Amino acid sequence: MRISTIQKGLVLGLISLISFALRLQAQQLPLYSEYMFNTFEINPAYAGGRDAIQITTMFRKQWTGFKTAPQSTFLSVDMPVTDKRIGLGLKIVDDRDEITKTVGAQGAYSYKIPLGDYSALAFGLQAGAMNFKSDFTEVDVIDPNDPSFSQVVNSVKVNFGTGAFFNTENFFVGLSIPNLIKQNLKKNSIDNPGDIKQNTHIYFNTGYVFHLNDDFVVKPSVLVRGLVGSPVSVDVNTNLWIADMLSLGASYRNKSAIVGIINLRVLPELYMGYAYDHSISRLNIIAKGSHEVILRYEIPIGRTSLSPRYF
């Protein structure tokens, strides 16, 4: 029993260290599996993309059963203005685990160029500030006097992002860079060694809507996440819409997770969804799956009703 306890402690400690390092280097920007239902979260060019005021909230609990499991909360509002050529939006983010916490807000602006009856090209900009706080004293270490783990880093950083989004009636493709400025959240020094950096993220997503008949619609899509200094992450997803009311989907994230997704149109203006990530990485030894929920409400502008939303 004693050997089992020691082994479990070593595994927990190792996973905590790996998770902590990933959060510092690559996860200042939250990861959501239901990105296909909230494009504005990854691309400012999508602001005002619907003929409605969109209010969206998402919550993700990652690696449940893991003591330092990260969790992310997202709230956004966006809408079209000025003959629907201009879109405005606001994002609020709260991303945290046992050690780190990132809270902030970003405003977004987009301009749409119509290219036909059902096609348009939009460009977007976003700007905001994030408060990054990391309490290193919460880390269990062998040497309590280690200067690397005897401080609290509290930093407010301003950043800018940009994106482009093109769509036809059934096809879409987008490219965005949410954080153009590479941030150094903590600089290395003799007393406090170790840098904490936030590198540039790049997102590319595309998809197509196939109308099989009046009741069935299939939408395959892909999201590629690039991060300077880290391997590329790819999400391959397919969603089946049934009678414009229920969507069933599945995703594969390379070497990371298999995801099941369900989205329900409760009312013409109200959508709700749930996603479950089953980890296929080495973390599944001790960490259970990740849970994610989304709730979106749309207030139509200039119309009595909205068309079904596929992207």
For 230-267, how does the pLDDT look when each residue is reduced to its tens digit (9 = 90+)? Answer: 789 999 999 999 999 999 999 999 988 999 999 999 99
Please say if the pLDDT value at position 66 is more than 90. Answer: no
Q: In this predicted structure, which of 29-38, 66-75, 194-203 has the lowest mean pLDDT?
A: 194-203
Rounded CA separation 153/136 (Å)? 8
Nearest-angstrom CA–CA distance, 123 and 112: 7
- Give the HSE-up count for residue 194: Cα atoms under 13 Å, Cβ half-sphere: 13
Given pLDDT bands bounded at 50, 70 and 90, which one contains residue 23? very low
The one-letter amino acid at 25: Q
The per-residue pLDDT for 130 is 92
pLDDT tens digit sequence for 167-184? 999 999 999 999 998 877
pLDDT number for residue 76: 98
Confidence band of 109 (pLDDT split at 50, 70, 90):
very high
Predicted local distance difference test score (pLDDT) of residue 19: 45
Helix (H) or strand (E) holding 91, with range, is: strand 86-96
Picking from 166, 138, 126, 174, the residue whose alpha carbon sits closest to that of residue 29 is: 126
Residue 267 CB contacts under 8 Å (≥ 6 apart), including other chains: none
**Nearest in space to 97 (alpha carbons), one of 32, 46, 24:** 24
The mean pLDDT value for 287-303 works out to: 89
Question: Do 100 and 132 touch, CB atoms closer than 8 A?
Answer: yes
What is the largest distance, in Å, between two alpha-carbon atoms of the chain?
A: 71
User: Is 5's pLDDT higher than 60?
Assistant: no
What is the CB neighbour count within 10 angstroms for residue 278? Answer: 12
Residue 128 in 3-state DSSP? Answer: strand
Tell which residue, 126, 99, 294, has the closest CA to residue 201.
126
SS3 108: strand
Least confident segment among 39-53, 225-239, 274-288: 274-288
Tokens of 19: 């998770």
Asked if 287 and 69 count as a contact pair (C-beta separation under 8 A), the reply is yes
| Tokens standing for residue 6 | 């020691």
pTM over 0.95: no
> Domains in the chain, ordered, with CATH?
2-300 (2.40.160.60)
Residue 158 has pLDDT above 90, yes or no: yes
Q: How far apart are CA 128 and CA 179, in angstroms?
A: 10
Convert the pLDDT of each residue in 13-22 to its tens digit.
434 444 444 4
pLDDT, mean of residues 102-127: 95
For residue 188, give the H/E element and its range: none
Q: Which residue has the tokens 């050529």?
A: 85
